[in-house]
Amino acid sequence: MPGVAEHPGPGEVRRRRLAGIVLMCGTVAFFACLDASAKTLALAGVDPLFTTFMRYGVSVVMVSAFINPVTTPGVVRTRRLWLQVVRSLLLFGSTALNFFALRHLQLAETLSIQFAAPLAVALLAGPLLGEWSSPRRLAAIAVGFVGVLVIVRPGVGAFQPAVLLSLGNMLCYAFYLIATRKLAAIDSTATTMFYSGLAGLAVMAPLLPWIWSDPASPGLWLLLVGVGLFGTLGHWLLVLAHARAPANVLAPFLYTQLLWSVLLGYLLFGDVPHRWTLIGGAIVVASGLYLLSQERTRRPA
C-alpha cells in the first residue's frame, strides 16, 4: 500500500542478522591480522611509531576518498572540535601503545588486556556520562579487573613491564569509546570518521625525520601498507555489520578475535599462550558478556 513503510519479515530479519554476524567475524579477523602485521614489523626493527603513522596515513587516504567536503558537504563542520581532536589523539595513542607492547608480549596477551576497555567504560560512564552502574554491574566490573590482574600478575617473577604499555592502550581506548559516545549525540558519523586519524597524523608529521624507517625488503613495505588496509577494512566491515544487526547481537562475536590471535600467534611466532593469560582472558570475557546481558535487560532491542 503506497505511503506505508514495509517491515521485513522474520525470515529477512534472520538473514540480515546472520549477514551481520558473518561481517563481524570478518571484522575481528582483519583486526587480528593488523596486530600480527604490527608485531612482525616490530620484530623486524621497524619503529612502532612509524608503523602507527602508516596505519593512520593509509586509513586517512582511503577514508578521504569517500568522505570529503566534495562528496559529503559539511562533513568538516563539528560542534565539538576540541573533542574530535582529543578523540583522534586517544585513538592514535592507543594504537601506538599497542604496537610498542606487541614487541614484547603475545598477541593473545595484549588483546586479553584490551578486552577490559568496555569494563573501564562501564566504570567511567558514571562520572563522565551520568550512566551509573548497578551493584551487580559494579561487581562484574570488579571481577573483570581481577581477570586483568591474573593476566598481568604484578609482583611475581613473570611480570613484564611491557604490560604497562598494554594497560595504557586499554585506558586510551576506553576514553576513546567514551568520547565517541559523546560525539554520537552531536556530530554525524561521517564527520567523526573524517576526523578520526587527522589529529594524530598532524602531531606525528613533524617527527617523521626521527621515526622514519627504511624497511629492508619489499615485504615489510607491504606489511606497512597492510596495517592501514587491515584497520580500514576492519572498521568498514564493522559499520556494515551494525547496519544489519543490533549491537547486542554482534558484541559477543568480538571476542572471537581472541581465537584468531592465539592461532596467528602460534603459526607466525610460535607463541603458546600462558595458562594465566587464558584464565585471565576467560574471566575478562565472561565479565564483558555479563555486562552485555545486563545491557540487554536495561535496553531491549
**Could you give the CA distance from residue 12 to residue 18 in angstroms, rounded to a whole number?**
10
Identify the pLDDT of residue 4.
Answer: 47
- Give domain limits for the chain: 18-298
What's the pTM value of the predicted model, to 2 decimals?
0.87
Residues 277, 148 contacting (CB under 8 angstroms): no
Identify the pLDDT of residue 7.
Answer: 64
Identify the burial level of 298 via C-beta atoms within 10 angstroms of its C-beta, where 0-12 means exposed, 13-18 middle and 19 or more buried: exposed
Q: Which residues of the chain have pLDDT under 50?
A: 1, 3-5, 300-301
Q: Is the dihedral of CA 50, 234, 171, 107 positive or negative?
A: negative
Q: How far apart are the first and last CA of the chain?
A: 27
Q: 286 is written with which cell numbers?
A: 565472561
Long-range contacts of 207-210 (CB under 8 A, 24+ apart): 207/49, 208/50, 208/53
